[in-house]
Amino acid sequence: MKIGIPRALMYHYYYPAWQAFFRELGLSVLFSPETNKEVLDQGVKAAVDDICLPFKVYYGHVLSLRDKVDCLFVPRFISLGKYNYICPKFMGLPDMLRANIEGLPELIDPVIDLRKGIFPLRSLAYKIGRRFTGNILAIERAYRKARASYRDFLQKQREEGKREGQVTDEAASLVIGVLGHSYLLNDAYLSMRILERLEEMKARVFTADMLEERALEKAAWRQHKPAFWYFNRQIMGAAYYLFQEKEINGIVQVTAFGCGPDSLVRELIDIKAKREGIPVLNINLDEHTGEAGILTRLEAFVDLIERRRRKCR
């Protein structure tokens, strides 16, 4: 049996766990291809006009899998912790797909709500697993394998952040914080390879994924009132952490056109950065964004920072 997982949105946070869980149950896991022009164009045509770019792309990934799998895994996210919530579009994503795309295979759409801790995850895993096997021990093994894979995934991200922080040749490289959702920054097509391009310009890059969640939450509370939405609060926490804990030379904010929480957090970070005297480049992505324009803006931003550093020496 083939289960499809769209390579968009929460995929970028949890795909190691999902892949390990379903493979351990004996399913064939098929990911959609990396985002490309065809996937984006199909998503834009299928989606409603007023949703943000990452959701439009998700539609395209679903369409690329629709006729290749027996079912699609599209979880309905509500909360990832006691005091946080996910954007309402994540809650209604399965319903939006059913309303806008014809001929969909079965959608596996469990409700993920962790306001009471992580304990509901095991019962949720059992509920999903029983769709494919009656072997309780096999489901438990799959659940443990998924948790182990996810912990390894997080550990690799944290180690990458530590390596960035241990570079000693401060004069040779810029330190730039890149703030944005993982489903934007880690999608090479949507982000126009911003992270890679900055590294090619000899910049050391820090993202929220490289920082521990505990540190992000603590830093987010430095704002008078922390952001309500979970991922936006993490972005805000990453900004405050970098302002206070790292000697950064600049901030690049990557936001999605049409995302209300992104626009609010962007303004708050701009205000804080101005007080700290740190330059900020705001990049707002939509389906019309051109790669050449992004590259030109990044080059100009890096050049501006280099000039400032030379004046301060």
Residue 161: band (very low, low, confident or very high) from pLDDT cuts 50, 70, 90: low
On the question of pLDDT at 301 being above 90, the answer is yes
Task: Please state which of the ranges 10-14, 60-64, 124-128, 223-227 shows the lowest mean pLDDT.
Answer: 223-227
Q: Is the model's pLDDT at 70 over the cut of 70? A: yes
The values of phi and psi at residue 253, to 5°, are -100, 125
DSSP 232-286: HHHHHHHHHHHHHHS--SEEEEEEETT-HHHHHHHHHHHHHHHHHT--EEEEEE-
pLDDT > 90 in the chain, percent:
47
- Distance from C-alpha of 295 to C-alpha of 97, rounded to nearest angstrom: 34
CA distances from 262 to 53, 69, 206, 311 (A): 12, 34, 19, 33
Confidence of residue 138 (pLDDT cuts 50, 70, 90): very high
Q: How far apart are CA 89 and CA 81, in angstroms?
A: 18
Res. 167: pLDDT tops 70: no
Give 88-111 pLDDT, tens digit per residue.
889 899 999 999 999 999 999 999
Q: What is the pTM of this model?
A: 0.88
pLDDT at residue 257 in the model: 82
Give domain limits for the chain.
2-152, 167-312
Q: Under CATH, what is the fold of the domain 2-152?
A: Rossmann fold (3.40.50)
- Parallel/antiparallel/unpaired status of strands 76-79 and 174-179: unpaired
pLDDT at 39: 94
Range list of β-strands (E), 157-227: 174-179, 203-206
Q: Which helix (H) or strand (E) holds 180?
A: none
Three-state SS at 76: strand
Task: Specify the pLDDT at position 164.
Answer: 57
- Who contacts 39 (Cβ-Cβ below 8 Å, separation ≥6)? 32, 33, 57, 60, 61, 63, 64
Mean pLDDT of the chain: 87
Query: Is 117 a residue whose pLDDT tops 70?
Result: no
Instruction: Count Cβ neighbours within 10 Å for each residue of 206-215 and write b for 16 or more, e otherwise.
Output: bbbbbbeeee
Residue 253: band (very low, low, confident or very high) from pLDDT cuts 50, 70, 90: very high
Range from 42-56, 167-181, 204-218, 287-301 carrying the lowest mean pLDDT: 167-181
Label residues 272-298 b or e (16+ Cβ within 10 Å = b): bbeeeebbbbebbbeeeeeeeebeeeb
SS3 34: coil
Domain 167-312 has CATH 3.40.50: yes
| CA 86 to each of CA 111, 113, 115: distance values in angstroms, whole numbers, following the listed order | 12, 10, 11
Cα torsion for 117, 120, 121, 126, to the nearest 10°?
A: 170
Q: Tokens 């309402």 — which residue? A: 88
The reported pLDDT for the residue numbered 140 is 93
Give which of 126, 201, 208, 194 is closest to 161, Cα–Cα: 208
| pLDDT of 227 higher than 70 | yes
Q: Do domains 2-152 and 167-312 have the same CATH topology?
A: yes
Coil, helix or strand at residue 227: coil
The share of the chain scoring above pLDDT 70, in percent, equals: 94
Question: pLDDT by residue (tens digit) across 182-226?
Answer: 999 999 999 889 999 998 888 888 888 888 878 888 887 887 777
Sign of CA pseudo-dihedral 10, 55, 78, 126: negative
